[in-house]
């Protein structure tokens, strides 16, 4: 009976890991989409790409043809990227 409980506990743990990974991908996708919308609403450019720089701080880097923007989704700020790397 103890062995069965350990197996079930391990399976629940694995399911939790997969659920967290899935949710993080969904949040990252939504953040990238929102950052692209913010930049393209203010500066209509085509071919922009977004990359999540800091998940904890809600910062997304949007790269367009001519400029690189840093979008702070938590505080609602938009500014040019200075090239510094951020950590979570």
What SS3 state is found at 47?
Answer: coil
> What CA–CA distance (Å, rounded) separates 45 from 35?
13
pLDDT surpasses 70 at 2: yes
Q: Where are the domains of the chain?
A: 2-80
Rg (CA), the chain: 18
Give residue-wise pLDDT tens across range 10-69.
999 999 999 999 999 999 999 999 999 888 888 887 888 899 888 878 889 999 887 888
DSSP 53-87: EETTTTEEEEE-SS-EEEEETTTTEEEE-------
Does the reported pTM lie above 0.85? no
């Amino acid at each position: 009976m103890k062995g069965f409980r350990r197996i079930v506990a391990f399976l629940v743990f694995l399911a939790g890991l997969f659920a967290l990974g899935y949710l993080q991908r969904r949040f990252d996708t939504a953040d990238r989409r929102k950052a692209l919308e913010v930049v393209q609403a203010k500066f209509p450019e085509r071919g922009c790409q977004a990359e999540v720089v800091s998940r904890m701080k809600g910062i997304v880097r949007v790269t367009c043809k001519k400029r690189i923007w840093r979008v702070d989704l938590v505080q609602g700020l938009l500014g040019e990227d200075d090239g510094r790397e951020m950590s979570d």
